[in-house]
Amino acid sequence: MNKILENSIEKKVVLEARDLKKHFEISKGIIKREKVNVKAVDGINFKVYDGETLGIVGESGCGKSTTGELLLGLLEPTAGEVIFNDVNLSKMSQEELRLARKDLQVIFQDPYSSLNPRMTVEEIISEPLIVHNIMKGKKLKTRVKELMNLVGLQEHQLKRFPHEFSGGQRQRIGIARALALDPKVIVCDEAVSALDVSIQAQILNLLKKLQDELDLTFVFIAHGLPTVRHISDRIAVMYLGKVVELADKNELFDNPLHPYTHGLLLSVPVPDPELRKDDPTTMKGEIPSPSNPPSGCHFHPRCKFATEKCKELVPEFREIIDNHYLACHHPLIKEDNEVFDTSND
């Protein structure tokens, strides 16, 4: 019943990645003659729906931050397209792109290096409004105060400089700046990773509250799985430039189908010593260099289910169950008892 209802009300797609690729050329060798293509993002497809939070997780080097920059139109894709509100970002004129950027904002990881140390909080938050020529004078001042209140800062802090604030408060300044232009989509690139746990909780709660109040769409890029589960509606797991699995968050955590997702979930330390386990499933090896990825399925050298097929054939990213997308030749379907015996949970 629920399903029918959900499908009948067509969800609106705000942002879409279509076969998106970004390759960087780097020089190698002693005299830098050799050119190597690093496939940071190598053909990814997903949609971001209006008002949802799409989480993107993966280990370092998987291409999640590059994906974020592509979605924002900060990088020109090597191939494929980013569609924002039915328009291809790379086909836009400079002027159109400038206008689109109002709706596409970003919150960065490091609240120390992402704020100009010589600007006051007031200048930082009002800058986007001035650049886009939206308001000035008294109106601008009121708007800045409104934004400060919205993110939990005090009005008397307007004239202060970033160094006078703690990490958590600086992140609030960054959030206020991102909100200034009333954006539709905010890409949060590791937005809470640099903060202490008790402060992380404050910022996560703030982001959720703002999403409800302002009808925002988030793309939440992070490596911390519990954090991503907490804030996201759907989650995409990336490995070496590709999305390997994408599903509703509960579906993904309760029923991971890709061996990499499964291994990743088991690697997260659980804050309960009673659940300490010496499981044999610890993933072997490390993430290979994206300049020289393994053939076939990129995960095959670390995967214990890999067969000849995995070495040769790149698995297709497809919908395997309703709304559960996967790129794997040997998904961990529940009948396969051998798989779930090793997990102990």
Q: Which residues bind other proteins (CB under 8 A)?
A: 59-60, 166-169, 196-202, 204-205, 208, 223, 225-227, 229-230, 250, 253, 263-276, 278, 282-283, 286-287
Q: Smallest distance from the beta carbon of 180 to other proteins, in angstroms?
A: 24
Q: Which amino acid is at 263?
A: G
Q: Smallest distance from the beta carbon of 302 to other proteins, in angstroms?
A: 9
Of the pair 90, 342, the CB lying nearest other proteins is at 342
Of the pair 45, 202, the CB lying nearest other proteins is at 202
Distance CA 107, CA 114 (A): 9
Of the pair 38, 266, the CB lying nearest other proteins is at 266
Say if strands 53-57 and 234-239 run parallel, antiparallel, or are unpaired: parallel
Of the pair 137, 269, the CB lying nearest other proteins is at 269
Instruction: Give yes or no for a contact between 44 and 68, defined as CB atoms under 8 angstroms apart.
Output: no
Q: Smallest distance from the beta carbon of 260 to other proteins, in angstroms?
A: 9
Please report, for the chain, how many H helices and E strands are present, in that order: 12, 12
Which two three-digit tokens encode residue 44?
A: 């990814």
Using alpha carbons only, how large is the chain's radius of gyration in Å?
22
Residue 21, classified by CB atoms within 10 Å of its CB into exposed (0-12), middle (13-18) or buried (19+), is middle
Q: Smallest distance from the beta carbon of 218 to other proteins, in angstroms?
A: 15
Q: Smallest distance from the beta carbon of 1 to other proteins, in angstroms?
A: 24
Of the pair 161, 253, the CB lying nearest other proteins is at 253
DSSP string, 45-88: EEEEETT-EEEEE--TTSSHHHHHHHHTTSS--SEEEEEETTEE
DSSP string, 112-156: TTTS-TTS-HHHHHHHHHHHTT---HHHHHHHHHHHHHHTT--GG
Of the pair 137, 273, the CB lying nearest other proteins is at 273
Of the pair 47, 223, the CB lying nearest other proteins is at 223
Q: Smallest distance from the beta carbon of 153 to other proteins, in angstroms?
A: 13
Q: Smallest distance from the beta carbon of 101 to other proteins, in angstroms?
A: 31
Instruction: Give yes or no for a contact between 237 and 246, defined as CB atoms under 8 angstroms apart.
Output: yes
Q: What angle do helix axes 137-150 and 167-179 make, rounded to 10 degrees?
A: 130
